[in-house]
Amino acid sequence: MASTTRKNITASWQKISDGDCTVQSLVHDTQFYISVGATTPKGEEYIILKLTEATTFAYSSPVWCRVADASASQPIVVIA
């Protein structure tokens, strides 16, 4: 069963879901790095999104997120 949670995303990679999820930022001018895979991303294995609209990741794999600005901490909402 899915649930809705609010997560505070920092400059460190955080697993936001173990599988499919829908994500939206609560702050619309922040860029997020997003990566999909079983382990913590290394190097440049990510895409950059603002997440201003609800975005669904349906890859049946863990989803990782971090903010692009190393000094920022921003909230997102995750439905997974």
CATH number, position 42: 2.60.120.10
Q: How many domains does the chain have?
A: 1
23 forms bridges with which residues in the sheet? Answer: 55, 78
- pTM reported for the whole predicted model: 0.94
Q: Helix-strand-coil percent breakdown of the chain, rounded to 5?
A: 0, 45, 55
Domain of residue 16: give its range.
Answer: 4-79
* pLDDT (tens digit per residue) in 8-50: 999 999 999 999 999 999 998 899 999 999 999 998 999 999 9
For 63, other C-beta atoms within 10 Å of its C-beta total 22
Residues in the chain: 80
58 alpha-carbon distance from chain centroid: 13
DSSP 8-state class, residue 43: T
> What is residue 32's predicted lDDT score, i.e. its pLDDT?
97
**Residue 71 pLDDT greater than 90, yes or no:** no
